[in-house]
Amino acid sequence: QVQMVESGGGLVQAGGSLRLSCAASGGILSINVLGWYRQAPGKQRELVARFSHGGDTTYADSVKGRFTLSRDNAKNTAYLQMNSLKPEDTAVYYCNAERIVTHNGPRFNVWGQGTQVTVSS
């Protein structure tokens, strides 16, 4: 069974940093279009950053210059380094893979369970 597990969330003061991790497991051969989304209370889930099909990285305007997306393909893990955090970054952060190829076939639109990030002013 394919799973994506986020970690690294927590409570931080404004201006601080956190590093989120998303580890995928379950007989994985490859992961396509891997990214991070977030959902604040009362708001819709929004894209934070993701790797595109071509390998380019896309960031939401609100996080450009502050957040950095990276991945370790050997570990099937993606990271989101978040610096200069602001109270408006407070949300549940989710990782997502549009397509995961496994030994038992592909899986589509796979989500993790989310990790809470709270930034105090």
> Mean pLDDT of all residues in the chain?
95
Rounded to whole angstroms, the Cα distance separating 4 from 57 reads 20
38, 91, 118, 98 alpha-carbon torsion, rounded to 10°:
-20
Report the pLDDT value the prediction gives residue 32, as an integer from 0 to 100.
Answer: 85
Report the pLDDT value the prediction gives residue 55, as an integer from 0 to 100.
Answer: 75
Query: Any idea which residue has 């379950």 for tokens?
Result: 26
pLDDT in tens, 15-73: 999 999 999 999 898 888 889 999 999 999 999 999 987 778 999 999 999 999 999 99
Which of 76, 27, 69 is closest to 52 using CA atoms?
69
Which of 10, 44, 41 is closest to 119 using CA atoms?
10
